[in-house]
């Protein structure tokens, strides 16, 4: 059983409706990073953590630590 072009278009439209146009690039970026990390792990490579993750973490820590 093969998936035809009509089914692919219908699935793409459903994903677009569920997640919206702005969220899809973020999802694909995260998926790409996950696949890249998996491939690097399979090859035995360990890369340094990206500086972006450090800035994102520090911003979320301040929001969590503040009592309301």
For residue 33 the two structure tokens come to 């990073």
Predicted confidence at residue 55, as pLDDT, reads 45
pLDDT tens-place string over residues 4-60 = 999 999 998 998 888 888 888 888 899 899 999 999 888 887 655 554 544 444 444
pLDDT tens-place string over residues 43-58 = 887 655 554 544 444 4
Note the pTM of the prediction, 2 decimals.
Answer: 0.42
Predicted confidence at residue 33, as pLDDT, reads 94
Predicted confidence at residue 56, as pLDDT, reads 46
**Secondary structure (H, E, C), the chain:** CCCCHHHHHHHHHHHHHHHCCCHHHHHHHHHHHHHHHHHHHHHCCCCCCCHHHHHHHHHHHHHHHCCC
């Amino acid at each position: 059983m093969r998936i035809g072009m009509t089914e692919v278009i219908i699935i793409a439209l459903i994903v677009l409706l569920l997640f919206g146009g702005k969220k899809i690039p973020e999802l694909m970026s995260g998926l790409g990073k996950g696949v890249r990390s998996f491939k690097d792990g399979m090859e035995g490579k360990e890369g340094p953590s990206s500086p972006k993750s450090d800035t994102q973490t520090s911003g979320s820590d301040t929001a969590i630590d503040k009592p309301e």
